[in-house]
Amino acid sequence: MVLLLIWYGIMLVLNMEVALLTPPVGLNVYVLKGVVDPFGVRVEDIFKGVVPFVAILLISMVLLQIWPEIALWLPSTMH
């Protein structure tokens, strides 16, 4: 049961990170826009730059759905 909760927590964190990187919310993107605003970087350019990271997060979420042992290997060695 504990390992299931650990897996759920890892999936929740990955989902929240995807939510913070994608529109319409994209809070992390808008924070980055505030940091690089003096340099004239557009929000569209930042969203285009985030696409590979979102793809990696989505692929890792699919892999963790198929093989949850990937996320549970280290916690299971601590018991």
Q: Quick one: what percent of the chain has pLDDT higher than 90?
A: 72
pLDDT tens for each residue of 11-70: 999 999 999 999 888 899 999 999 999 999 999 999 999 999 999 999 999 999 999 988
Domain hosting 10: range is 2-77
Tell me the pTM: 0.84
**Angle (nearest 5°) at CA 54 between 52 and 59:** 95
33-41: which pairs have CB atoms within 8 A and are 24 or more residues apart? none
Record the tokens describing residue 55, joined without a space: 């793809």
Q: CA-CA distances (angstroms) from residue 9 to 13, 28, 59, 74? A: 6, 20, 17, 14
pLDDT of residue 77: 86
Contacts of 38 (CB under 8 A, 6+ apart): none
Record the tokens describing residue 67, joined without a space: 């093989």
State how many domains the chain has: 1
pLDDT tens for each residue of 56-74: 999 999 999 999 988 888 8
